[in-house]
A and B are shown apart, each in its own frame.
Chain A
């Protein structure tokens, strides 16, 4: 009895394992990625990490633009958080990614050889407050709770700068760290009074009618930077032409997105797995909510971020910005990428 049952179960397990493995890898499908160019030469390809935030919009757009290009194919890999991106880079499985600027500095400080190649965007973050609060500036938020994505975020640094400017003491506002997707809900539920985050998580509250804009990032810090394109030095050393293609691809995608906002929303929404209407809202209401031009990082911008990071205690050393940035791949002539969003 035991024998025959055992045989049945072993057989059943074997069939299930085979079946699920076949379904998982679908060997009958040809490789989905067009790894082979028309002439039959293997195209270079590179995976670039990003999060579904509009600060990283140029990453999927570049992916989209290079699907059929004859040059390097850029495969955008969506992550759900920064720690995973960092661990993937440390493990050597991800060589280039978008990430928040202070995090890149922190990595450099810890001895990981990464370089900032380019910026992902300008502006694109927003301070939202509850609709029912009469707050007009930061001083009105004294004693209130304000959420930021993390202590390592530029938002956290920048809000401290603004508090300084307005004479609000650090302990007069209660800060909490929240995952960006939870912020609109928390605001609607009045668990927090305000939050400062990258889009589209601010616009969501605006669309839902639970929040209103207190500041656009550009009001606090014109040409605000939160996210940068980072690459491992090994990649720069070994495949400079790929890196050159990447930076050019980001630049041209950015130029295209700047001028084709509806198209950009259409292209990016499936990559983000977000509602296209929401992405469209961020890109158009108003159009200068986020910008994808002027993406060359200056020493001054980054130095300022670094100094704020040190002041806030999240960075320890004054790392040399010249070691951190590599501007040699940035093209001088940037024309909009040729993308057909249909």
Chain B
């Protein structure tokens, strides 16, 4: 668990004339949960692609350790494969069929989809699909999860439920996580550290550490405080918006 999962040093990424990332430096420790927030179009997906190795930086260096797996916003599952087949994709390295079957049923149990093993993705709800993706990414012995707005296609309640699920599952299967999200609450509730990016060309505007141990509740004081901070950092008046949201809740 010691050591670094990622080290970015002065990483820039340019698409022709468009400079997306500028001299970004970031260390991510093994086992750490980092959330990345920032304005739309600032380069969050680009950053994830650099981390996963699907994209190359224009300059700067990226060091990574361990195997990463990506969870997509939606439709990352193979629609022509059943839940079981999709998850088994993550277990391809296991040679022993008995062991593979055991792990498969463990994972299905973990995401609470017993009885849906032979369903196809189009027969599942959005939340169920995201859980299958999660299980596929967690299967086998990968070390890092890269998640690009994994819950953004879900409705609010499902999103909150999925947050709990993610926290619970990570408790059973600890991983290094980089989570890109628009949802500040989500970042505050799940992450050890939140990285706030500026407008394009993106730089790190600030980093916010949240010390309370996971899992956390939505209304834990530290989470609420962090949410406020993030709103301010993103240029939205934290207090004002909190007022309304508190009023709303009471």
Q: Do A and B come from one complex?
A: yes
Measuring CB to CB, which residues of chain A are less than 8 angstroms from any residue of chain B?
1-2
**CA–CA, A1 and B82, complex, Å:** 9
| Nearest opposing residue in chain A for B118, CB measure | A1
- The answer to the question of B15 belonging to the interface, with a C-beta cut-off of 8 Å to chain A, is no
Q: Give residues 170-199 of B contacting A (CB, 8 Å).
A: none
A1 surroundings in chain B (CB, below 8 A): 82, 118
Mask of B74-103 contacts with A, CB within 8 angstroms, 1/0: 000000101000000000000000000000
- The tally of residues in B whose CB lies under 8 Å from a CB in A reads 3
B80 / chain A contacts, CB cutoff of 8 Å: 2
List, in ascending order, chain A residues with CB within 8 A of B118's CB. 1
Could you give 3 example pairs across A and B, Cβ below 8 Å? A1-B82, A1-B118, A2-B80
Please measure, in the bound complex, the distance between the C-alpha atom of A2 and the C-alpha atom of B80, giving whole angstroms: 8
Residue of A with least CB distance to B80: A2
- Closest beta carbon of chain A to B2's beta carbon, Å: 44
* Cβ contacts B60-86/A at 8 Å (1 or 0 each): 000000000000000000001010000
Q: Cα distance A1–B81 when bound, in Å?
A: 8
**Chain A nearest CB, measured from B88 CB (Å):** 13
| B79 → A minimal CB distance (Å) | 12
Closest residue of chain A to B120, judged by CB?
A1
Instruction: Please name all residues of chain A whose beta carbon is closer than 8 Å to the beta carbon of B82 when the two chains form the complex.
Output: 1
B interface, over-half SS? loop
Expressed in whole angstroms, the Cα–Cα distance for A1 and B86 within the complex equals 13
State the Cβ distance, B117 to closest chain A Cβ, in Å: 12
Q: How far is the CA of A20 from the CA of B222 in the complex (A)?
A: 76
Could you tell me the distance in whole angstroms from the C-beta of A29 to the nearest C-beta in chain B? 46
A54 smallest CB distance to B (angstroms) = 63
How far is the CB of B223 from the nearest CB of chain A, in Å? 44
Roughly how many angstroms separate A2 CA and B85 CA in the complex, as a whole number?
11
CB-nearest residue of chain B relative to A2?
Answer: B80
A2 to B82, CA, bound (A): 10
Please, which residues of chain B bring their CB within 8 A of the CB of A2?
A: 80
Measured CB to CB, the closest approach of chain A to B205, in angstroms, equals: 48
Those 3 A-B pairs whose CB atoms lie nearest each other, nearest first: A2-B80, A1-B82, A1-B118
Q: Which residue of B lies closest to A1 (CB)?
A: B82
How far, in angstroms, from A1 to B118 measured CA to CA in the complex? 9
Q: How far is the CB of A5 from chain B (nearest CB, A)?
A: 11
Q: Give the complex CA separation of A1 and B80 in angstroms.
A: 9
Please give the distance in Å from B82's CB to the nearest CB on chain A.
7
Q: How far is the CB of A2 from chain B (nearest CB, A)?
A: 7
CB distance from A306 to the nearest CB of B (A): 70
Contact digits for B102-141, partner A, Cβ 8 Å, 1 yes 0 no: 0000000000000000100000000000000000000000
A4: min CB distance to chain B, Å: 13
Nearest CB of B to A56, in Å: 60
Shortest CB-to-CB span from A3 to chain B, Å, is 10
Q: How far is the CA of A66 from the CA of B80 in the complex (A)?
A: 64
Tell me the minimal C-beta distance from B83 to chain A in angstroms.
Answer: 12
Q: How far is the CB of B49 from chain A (nearest CB, A)?
A: 30
B119 CB → nearest A CB, Å? 11
The minimal Cβ–Cβ distance linking B77 to chain A, given in whole angstroms, is: 15
Nearest CB of chain B from residue A9's CB, rounded to whole Å: 15
Q: Determine the distance from Cα of A1 to Cα of B88 in the docked complex, in whole angstroms.
A: 14
- CA–CA, A2 to B118, complex, Å? 12
Q: List CB contacts (< 8 Å) of B25-74 with chain A.
A: none
A1–B119 CA distance with the chains assembled, in angstroms: 11
Task: Across the interface, name the chain A residue whose C-beta is closest to B82.
Answer: A1
A124–chain B nearest beta-carbon distance, Å: 67
B39 to chain A, nearest CB (A): 43
Return B220 CB to nearest CB of chain A, in Å: 45
Q: Which chain A residue shows the least CB distance to B85?
A: A1
Complex CA gap A52/B82 in Å reads 62
Min C-beta distance of B199 to chain A, whole Å: 46
